[in-house]
Chains A and B, each alone.
Chain A
Amino acid sequence: MDESNHELEQATVWLLACARGDAKAFQRLYRMEAPRMLALARRLCGDPGLAEEALQDTFVQAWRNAARFRPEKGSARAWLYALLRYRLINQHRRTRRYDAEALPGDDWPDPGPTPEQCSMQADRRRAMRECLRGLQGDRRRPILMAFYHGFTYEQIAETLAVPLGTIKSRVRTGLKGLQECLRL
């Protein structure tokens, strides 16, 4: 088991302990998960102050609602990220214009004409990275803009100066490609 998987399991154990009122476990969960969540929050809202506020609220919500977490439905990490993204996407409209900030995956080359089959023996998270690499850049980029920047279809179209219909088509084709690769 690699370190990342160990962390993932550890986070789940700690979140379950939070549901029993274990404050130490909560602090450990915060220390392990908060740094990368803050990185994502900053990208999503483009405002360091709002990002911190969102992270704070997310952990407060996580502590109060830990009893609702169901490990059989997913990992604690996925649960925490969902809380954070939901809060930022639904409660804050991004005000900063997209400034051509580099996205993870920008430097991945486009796949050749015959995309490699994605190995499903790998875990889900690694599989997602492999499958994203397998997408054409013009499909991958708008999807990543939605994920990392919280952009809507309209914002992506405006930023990339591409017609809305074209963007929707590219995103949907890309998502179908991911679906097939991930066998969802």
Chain B
Amino acid sequence: MIPDHQEEQRLLIAEYVLGLHRGEQAVEIERWLAEDEQAARQAAYWREHWVGAAELLEPARLPLGLWRRVARETGIAVPWWRGLWQSAPAWRFASAALLVALVLAVGPLRQPAPVYTVVLQAPGEAAQPGWRITVADNGDLQLTPLTQQADYHADRSVQFWTLENNAEGPRSLGLVEPGRTLVIPAEQVGGVESGQLFELTLEPPGGSPKDRPTGPVLFVGRAVAL
């Protein structure tokens, strides 16, 4: 029941915004707030102030795939290749020309054409590419060694990471065996965009004990659209 006394009303609003009223009582307060502009304003003030308390919390690390689920459910998820295709007519022409050239040169394609490439280099060693990444138009990623790389410590693991955005942080794409080609399916890779960062780090055996790189960066590079 909504009290008549103004001070009691204000207290009721404060309790409601804090979540202390549930069920029918909450419904009655909501109905009142929908009809009483002053009471609604009071509730809005409280909500605004409580943001200050929420800001005391350390931001959590967002789980992989949560954004993709949101995007899918809202209907805004567009396959990255379709977005690229639709948003840049020049790309359409260039890609089509590239495909025609490839078909003429090598005959019918057996493998999907790469649409992104990354050259991974040792940090600060631009002239020493160590690995090449190609991302096919079906989204599969291939990591290929460019040099002999037997120089790693035997008791450490090499882990492959990507950084899609700073909010989500680096995401592991698995462990890499030095000198061996690795193919990662599209569903594990997720969408790739121009400028997306990829890196290999040296980690404890079995990989990083945390959800992020802990060891030195061996090779790093950014995706370039073909």
Chain A residues with CB under 8 Å of chain B are 4, 8, 23, 26-27, 30-32, 34-40, 42-43, 52, 55-56, 59-60, 63-64, 73-75, 77-79, 81-82, 85, 89-90, 104-105, 124-129, 132, 143-144, 146-148, 150, 152-153, 171-172, 175-176, 178-179, 182, 184
Contacts and interface: CB of A to CB of B under 8 A. Distances in A.
B74 A124 contact: no
Nearest to B168: A31
Nearest to A4: B55
Contact of B47 (A35, A74, A132): A74
Contacts of A82: 47
Interface stretch (B58-66, B146-154, B212-220): B58-66
Interface string B1-44: 00000000011001100111010001000000000000001101
Contact of B165 (A31, A143, A148): A31
B26 A35 contact: no
Nearest to B42: A184
A178 B71 CA distance: 39
Nearest to B45: A184
14 contacts: A36-B58, A43-B57, A56-B69, A59-B70, A73-B44, A78-B44, A104-B53, A147-B18, A152-B19, A175-B11, A175-B15, A182-B45, A182-B49, A184-B42
Given A59-B70, A125-B51, A171-B20, A31 B167 contact: yes
Main secondary structure of the interface of A (DSSP, over half): helix
Contacts of B187: none
Contact of B50 (A52, A60, A128): A128
Contacts of B26: 90
A182 B45 CA distance: 10
B90 interface: no
Contacts, number: 149
Contacts of A75: 48, 51
Specify which of A40, A73, A74, A78 lies most central, judged by the most chain B CB atoms within 10 Å of its CB: A78
Nearest to A23: B76
B107 interface: no
Nearest to B17: A82
B93 interface: no
A153 B54 contact: no
A42 B60 contact: yes
Q: Which size bracket describes the interface of B in this complex?
A: 35 or more
A73 B44 CA distance: 7
B80 interface: no
Contacts of A176: 11
A102 to B, nearest CB: 11
B18 A146 contact: yes
B67 A30 contact: yes
A171 B15 contact: yes
A36 B60 CA distance: 6
B66 A128 contact: no
A129 B53 contact: yes
Contact of A39 (B49, B59, B71): B59
B24 to A, nearest CB: 12
Nearest to A55: B66
B34 to A, nearest CB: 13
Nearest to A84: B54
Given A26-B74, A30-B167, 16 more contacts: A26-B76, A35-B61, A35-B167, A38-B60, A43-B57, A59-B70, A78-B44, A78-B48, A81-B47, A127-B49, A128-B51, A144-B53, A147-B18, A152-B19, A172-B15, A178-B49
